[in-house]
Structure 1
């Protein structure tokens, strides 16, 4: 649980203010940590179904983490209960239909969320971005969990103080 809370705090600090987070929380920034817990906690607490890679500084503080998961969807019950009825409807429509459809189109893989090993979160504290932290976590992850017969996808999100963009690309290991 302490690692989960560290990861949620890092996640929240990096995504607050992002338009997509405003949409997914129904504009209620106060529930952003709940969104983080819904997407991070369910993966951290499921070893075997997910893998977490962390980076810490010389004081032991968490400066980055990457969470990889097997196909599936994290539990969103607590978050959903805090959204307005309109927010629940919007979230369900976007999360269950629009996002999977856009991933299929982007990666050229039918049912990409169910047919790939997915990096759900890759977060690096703003003062450590651009220093190779995420690259090192991905290299370790690919070395430990990659199976050459699977297709891997990952998404990298940057903090609002550095780049306001997300990058997605498909990696096929030979």
Structure 2
């Protein structure tokens, strides 16, 4: 396994600065702008709504106590070049009013009616059912150590940074025996997550008014067999 470059520090951040949040949003939009699932979940309007959606996810996970954990990769200029966000068992994204106050309502208000209806139907029914089948457990997003977002700047990809952040999450989840889980929307990431140590456990293609989109589900067991 590759060791991250010596100029990169990787650690958990519990109290991010606004600059760090801004950098996380900017990096996420850069990497996800062409992702079909993001196009669908923004009602076909990623140019306007993707930054709002990602900021709401990032802040809800990062700023609400007990709602998640965030590992970052920082270079010598104190610039964020990667991060991963995880929600522990017993919590879910936007499961509380304080999380929803960090941009969820603003995002939903700006969505078209068609976009809102599909977003709620997909995330509220179809997608969770698929994940439950893939992970072999009910309420899998609530019962796993679930990764919402994982990003590394393109010029630092393939240097062991993602693996290092995932190893930190693995060690945290191992304390409770929870399964690490995530859903990827890009087939190119399958080999990345498998290299880290995760196992592909499910795949499905969904239909939407804005075209097909796909998900690949990955799990990483922390309990010893």
The count of residues paired between Structure 1 and Structure 2 equals: 171
Residue 129 (structure 1) aligned to one of 157, 175, 184: 157
Q: Give ranges in structure 2 of 5+ residues lacking alignment.
A: 1-17, 95-99, 191-214
| In structure 2, C-alpha distance between the alignment counterparts of 1:34 and 1:84, rounded to whole Å | 14
| In structure 1, C-alpha distance between the alignment counterparts of 2:177 and 2:167, rounded to whole Å | 18
Give secondary structure in 1 for the equivalent of 2:167.
helix
Residue 3 (structure 1) aligned to one of 6, 15, 20: 20
Work out which of the two has the higher radius of gyration on C-alpha atoms and give 1 or 2: 2
Matched, 1:168 2:217: yes
Give the alignment's Cα RMSD to 1 decimal.
Answer: 2.0
Matched, 1:154 2:197: no
4+ long deviations beyond 6 Å: none
Residue pairs, 1:24-173, within 5 angstroms = 24-28=41-45, 29-70=47-88, 71-74=91-94, 75=100, 76-155=104-183, 163=188, 167-173=216-222
| In structure 1, C-alpha distance between the alignment counterparts of 2:60 and 2:80, rounded to whole Å | 19
Matched, 1:21 2:38: yes
Give secondary structure in 2 for the equivalent of 1:96.
helix
Does the CA-based 8 Å contact 1:65-1:137 persist in structure 2? yes
- Label 1:43 to 1:154 Cα distance change in 2 as closer, same or farther (>3 A): same
Deviation of 1:105 (Å): 1.4
TM-score (norm 1): 0.88
Q: Give ranges in structure 1 of 5+ residues lacking alignment.
A: none
Which shows bigger deviation, 4-13 or 141-150?
Answer: 141-150
| In structure 1, C-alpha distance between the alignment counterparts of 2:22 and 2:138, rounded to whole Å | 34
Does the CA-based 8 Å contact 1:52-1:68 persist in structure 2? yes
Give secondary structure in 2 for the equivalent of 1:17.
coil
Question: What whole-Å deviation, never above 9, does each CA across 1:79-127 have from its counterpart, x for those lacking one?
Answer: 1111001110010001111110111111112210121121111111111
Does the CA-based 8 Å contact 2:61-2:93 persist in structure 1? no
